[in-house]
Amino acid sequence: MTLLMVLPLLLIIGYLVYQAWPILSLDFLLTNPKHGMRAGGIWSPLLGTLYLVVISLVIAAPIGVLAAVFLNEYARDNWFTRIVNLAVVNLAGVPSIVHALFGLGAFVLFAGLGKSILAASLTLAVMTMPVIIASTKEALAAVPMAFREACWNVGATRWQTTRYVVLPNSISGILTGVILQVSRAAGETAPIMFTGAVFFKAIKEGHVFAYGLFDQCMALSMHLFTISTQVPDVPKALPYGTAVVLLGTVLAVNAVSIVVRVRLRSRRRW
Amino acid sequence: MKSGSMVEITNLRVRYGHREVLKGISLDVRRGEVLGIIGPAQSGKSTLLRTINRTIDDVPGAVVTGAIKVDGEDVRQLKNVFALRRKIGMVTPLPIGLPLSIFDNVAFAPRMAGLRDRRELAERVERCLRHAALWEEVKDRLHTLGTSLSGGQQQRLTIARALSHDPEILCLDEFSIAIDPVTTMRIEDVLRDLRSRMTIILVTNLVQQARRLADRTAFLFNGELLEVDRTEVIFSHSPANRKTYEYVNGIFG
């Protein structure tokens, strides 16, 4: 029965790789789509996804983690924190298309960022932040209360307690939660479609800073959608190749999260 | 050593929501004495200690009225609660080794108070571990985890940590609950050594422990202070309160 859970994953990966095999190469990664996306590689969507994920994470992770630290370590249990907690839980459950519409209204139009990498990253950040807050809070709450009390008893401040005892013992859980949001941000299509991703854009090949913050970009998830359904006569291997790269990225990130968790947990000490 | 009261508690009332756990307690702890506090579970002993170092602030819903002076200062008016807590060493019922090395466990409080000098830290750690009668057992493995020690060792580590910030008062809250009798005796020896250096408040559920260690003993029952007197009187045939006699002689409780 357990193997039945693994089987679909192996089948998906195997089938994708099999179909994509003729096209997979370093060149595929490093060249722009060409000839109305019927040839060439995935350089500009790949880099676009990278930009979106990294920038959204840089925004969402610090704010999310600090918010969770505040909620769990500092805030007293009163009506205000209860409302905030409720809001976090509900925000985490809002469908991504709704976040997309919000991003369009708030960042693209109201804040005047236009359709841009920045607006799309902010939208992704808004989408991932509540989940980061929730998972971080959970990791913090797993640290026994007795440790905090022992610190307070010897005159340590809240911050010292958090910094030297609580965070070191919850960092693996916190990072796991954050990293899992990377794969979520990489895979989402709807939020970026509304706020910054475009159908096609050629950029300087092999140049990592080819996009600017206020440029629009391509993204892997949307590119896959485009070449699978919107463009006729695309060679079969092309969408499969794109899917393999997208899936590979997400799985690689998940693998990193597992390694991080295992390594940090082996340092956990109670 | 200055004379007079180290801790002065006047008409202290604490309630958690609608449940009153301390019902108007007035009690002095004299400088340099060992004050035993005995009483059955739920009589408010731990709450009393929490009000002294103000960790009661962290208990949701706790309401405190009355006055508590430590070293002449009203703790409820204090701005710097951390300085107050550094005056007081607190040993909790269950041993808590922080998930740090043995060395770091003891060096934690001095470090948080701003002590950085390595040599001074090392001296402080050794002194505290010696005072807690743990040094000989752990001196060769100071950098292993505090949490890997046995229960009795961890309790002595907790005591070493409570001593690490040079407190003037040492509060022990039923320290022997989780450890075996032999270790308990060792720690009692430790306390006998420490009594000349600081004021000790010993909350215990073992009445004989109070008898062995305390200069004076207070009997707390249902949130009320029924009696406080010299330990010999409390354990004699004629303490002032009948209940005290019954409790220390195991007739109830």
Q: What is the pLDDT of residues B158-200, one digit of tens each?
A: 999 999 988 999 999 988 887 888 888 888 988 898 888 899 9
Average pLDDT over residues A113-120: 93
CATH of residue B124: 3.40.50.300
In the prediction, which pLDDT does B148 show? 85
Please say if the pLDDT value at position A267 is more than 70. no
Show Cβ contacts of residue A228 under 8 Å, excluding neighbours closer than 6 positions. Answer: A234, A239
Hey, what are B139's tokens? Answer: 């001196």
- The whole-model pTM stands at 0.84
User: Per the domain annotation, does B253 fall within a domain?
Assistant: no
State both tokens at B150. Answer: 């046995």
What is the 8-class DSSP label of residue B227?
A: E
Strand partners, B216: B35, B230
Q: Compute how many other C-beta atoms are within 10 angstroms of the C-beta atom of residue A159.
A: 11
Chain A residues touching residue B106 (CB < 8 angstroms): none
Chain B residue numbers touching A169 (CB-CB < 8 A): 99
At B120-141, the pLDDT tens digits run 999 999 999 998 888 989 989 9
Mean pLDDT in residue range A236-250: 91
Q: How many CB atoms lie within 10 A of CB A214?
A: 13
Grouping H, G, I as helix, E, B as strand and the rest as coil, residue B2 is: coil
Q: Which of A76, A160, A270 sits opposite B99 (nearest CB)?
A: A270
Return the amino acid letter for A107: F
This complex has an ipTM of 0.85
User: Å from B44 to nearest chain A CA?
Assistant: 18
Whether B119 is covered by a domain: the verdict is: yes
- Indicate the average pLDDT of chain A: 90
pLDDT of residue B1: 45
pLDDT at B2: 54
pLDDT at B3 over 60: no
* pLDDT band for position A119 (cuts 50, 70, 90): very high
The burial class, CB within 10 Å (0-12 / 13-18 / 19+), for A7 is exposed
Give chain A positions within 8 Å (CB) of B100.
Answer: 165, 269
What pLDDT does residue A55 have?
94
Helices assigned H by DSSP within A142-228: 145-153, 158-161, 171-187, 190-195, 220-225
8 Å CB contact of A169 and B99: yes
Mean pLDDT of A53-68: 95
Task: Answer whether residue B214 is part of any domain.
Answer: yes
Q: How would you classify the pairing of strands B62-70 and B5-16?
A: antiparallel
- In chain B, which among 21-60 make CB contacts under 8 A with chain A? 53, 55, 58, 60
User: Is the residue at B74 inside a domain?
Assistant: yes
Closest by CA position to B54, among listed B74, B35, B75: B75
Cβ-based contacts of A79 with chain B (< 8 Å) = none
Selecting from 1.20.1250.20, 3.30.2130.10, 1.10.1740.10, 1.10.3720.10, what CATH number does the domain A42-266 have?
1.10.3720.10
Percent of the residues in chain B that have a pLDDT greater than 70, as a whole number? 98
Interface test with B, best of A72, A147, A154 (most B CBs within 10 A): A154
Give the CA dihedral A237, A239, A241, A245, nearest 10 degrees: 180
For residue range A159-211, what is the model confidence (pLDDT) as tens digits? Answer: 999 999 999 889 888 988 998 898 889 888 899 999 988 888 888 887 888 88
Structural domain boundaries, residue B217 = 5-248
Using DSSP, state whether B184 is helix, strand or coil: helix
Among B102, B105, B112, the strongest candidate for a mutation testing the A interface, having the largest count of A CBs within 10 A, is B112
Angle of CA points A236, A241, A244, to nearest 5°: 135
* DSSP letter for each residue of B63-101: EEEEEEEETTEETTT-S-HHHHHHHEEEE-SS----SSB
Q: List chain A domain ranges.
A: 42-266
Number of domains forming the structure of chain B: 1
Angle in degrees, 0-180, between the axes of helices A43-69 and A237-266, rounded to the nearest 10: 30
B16 touches chain A (CB under 8 A): no
What digits encode the pLDDT tens for the residues A74-109?
988 889 999 999 999 999 899 999 999 999 999 999
Contact (CB, 8 A) for A34 and A44: no
B162 touches chain A (CB under 8 A): yes
What does the pLDDT look like over B18-49, one tens digit per residue? Answer: 899 999 999 999 998 999 999 888 888 999 99
Asked whether residue B94 carries a pLDDT value surpassing 70, the answer given is yes
